[in-house]
């Protein structure tokens, strides 16, 4: 009998303690502050999404690409006509002649065709810079709607063509996102790499280039530590290329990109997966996207940021 009463007493004490815990009043000011932070975070994320969309659909954005042509000969006639060596999908039948000589490039416009170089009218043969320089030359055509630039990738040179009326731009269907979630803004630690360290980065064309890496970013999720190797994003910021368990299952199969701020003096930073975005190759076949290095394929599902892009199937 005493044993039973003792057990009941213990049970009653535990029950009263539990009731006391669940019935403790919640701080309304703390709840209001949390709600305000959530609203502000969602608003800031929306501003970033709007800026991202504006850059993508700009007349010279990634959606305007209409071609990527390898420069294989010393001379190439460029145009949309059947006789062009580099045949454009849009623009005049005969645009001009591209010549190359040991890494130096020149362009001569077709007589009677209006072409500009960096905004100024072209009257004759002009030299061209590639994107290996500070900024590539821009050859404009179709009254400024079209543009050609030269890019270098993996030891090869290409003509990249853009046009404001590109089908990918006219038929753009918009970007879908997972719901914004503050818990995907995570605290991280920057781990510096040795001086001169490089990272082999393959692009979607199958080329591999050793790219300088400043170090890696480490974070924890559900008690597990994950690491992403970084590329210099400029001005001390970091550029992350990653794949996760949503790749091909809700997000773009080849992975996504993420810009991270410069680490603080203590090596700490925050990375916000709500701002993970698709590479240009998710929108066009004419980009040369770098792919995630082997160490950046995470055994973790990250349902945050941009979802896979679904293009329009009709005009």
Q: How far is CA 82 from CA 78, 95, 100, 226, 292, in A?
A: 10, 12, 22, 52, 38
Secondary structure, 3-state, 50-110 = HHHHHHHHCCCCHHHEEEEEECCCCEEEEECCCCCCEECCCCCCCCEEEEEECCEEEEEEC
pTM score, two decimals?
0.87
Residue-wise pLDDT for 149-167, tens only, equals: 999 999 999 999 999 999 9
Helix (H) or strand (E) segment spanning residue 232: strand 224-234
Contact 315, 192 (CB under 8 A): no
CA–CA separation, 257 and 290 (whole Å): 10
Q: What is the dihedral of CA 6, 12, 17, 22, to 10 degrees?
A: 160
Contact 150, 162 (CB under 8 A): no
* DSSP SS3 for 38: helix
What does the pLDDT read at residue 26? 66
Question: In this structure, what token pair is assigned to residue 292?
Answer: 């995630």
What does the pLDDT read at residue 249? 98
Averaged pLDDT score across all residues of the chain: 91
Q: What DSSP character marks residue 119?
A: T
What does the pLDDT read at residue 122? 96
What does the pLDDT read at residue 24? 52
Q: What is the dihedral of CA 295, 296, 300, 302, to 10 degrees?
A: 180
Give the closest residue to 302 by CA, choosing from 187, 175, 185, 173: 185
Q: What is the dihedral of CA 52, 166, 206, 279, to 10 degrees?
A: 10
What does the pLDDT read at residue 164? 98
Contact 203, 293 (CB under 8 A): no
Domains of the chain in start order, with CATH, are 62-170 (2.60.200.20), 174-296 (no CATH)
Helix (H) or strand (E) segment spanning residue 231: strand 224-234
Within 144-253, residue ranges assigned H as helices are 167-170
Q: Which residues of the chain have pLDDT under 70?
A: 1-26, 314-315
What does the pLDDT read at residue 19? 41
What does the pLDDT read at residue 16? 32
């Amino acid at each position: 009998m005493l044993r039973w009463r003792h057990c009941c007493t213990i049970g009653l004490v535990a029950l009263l303690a539990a009731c006391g815990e669940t019935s403790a009043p919640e701080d309304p000011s703390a709840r209001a502050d949390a709600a305000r932070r959530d609203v502000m975070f969602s608003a800031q994320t929306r501003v970033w999404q709007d800026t991202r969309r504006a850059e993508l659909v700009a007349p010279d954005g990634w959606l305007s690409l209409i071609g990527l042509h390898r420069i294989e000969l010393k001379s190439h006639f460029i145009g949309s006509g059947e006789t062009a060596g580099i045949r454009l999908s849009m623009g005049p039948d005969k645009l001009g002649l591209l010549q190359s000589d040991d890494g130096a490039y020149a362009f001569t416009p077709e007589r009677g065709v209006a072409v500009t170089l960096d905004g100024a009218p072209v009257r004759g043969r002009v030299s061209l810079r590639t994107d290996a320089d500070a900024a590539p030359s821009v050859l404009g055509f179709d009254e400024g709607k079209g543009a050609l630039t030269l890019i270098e990738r993996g030891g090869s040179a290409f003509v990249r063509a853009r046009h404001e009326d590109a089908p990918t731009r006219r038929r753009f269907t918009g970007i879908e996102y997972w719901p914004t979630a503050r818990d995907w803004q995570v605290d991280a630690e920057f781990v510096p790499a040795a001086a001169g360290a490089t990272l082999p980065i393959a692009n979607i064309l199958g080329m591999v280039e050793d790219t300088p890496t400043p170090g890696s970013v480490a974070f924890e999720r559900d008690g597990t530590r994950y690491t992403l190797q970084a590329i210099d994003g400029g001005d001390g910021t970091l550029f992350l290329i990653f794949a996760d368990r949503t790749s091909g299952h809700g997000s773009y199969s080849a992975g996504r990109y993420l810009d991270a701020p410069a680490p603080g003096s203590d090596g700490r930073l925050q990375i916000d997966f709500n701002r993970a975005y698709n590479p240009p190759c998710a929108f066009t076949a004419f980009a040369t996207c770098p792919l995630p290095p082997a160490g950046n394929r995470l055994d973790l599902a990250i349902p945050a940021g941009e979802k896979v892009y679904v293009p329009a199937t009709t005009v």
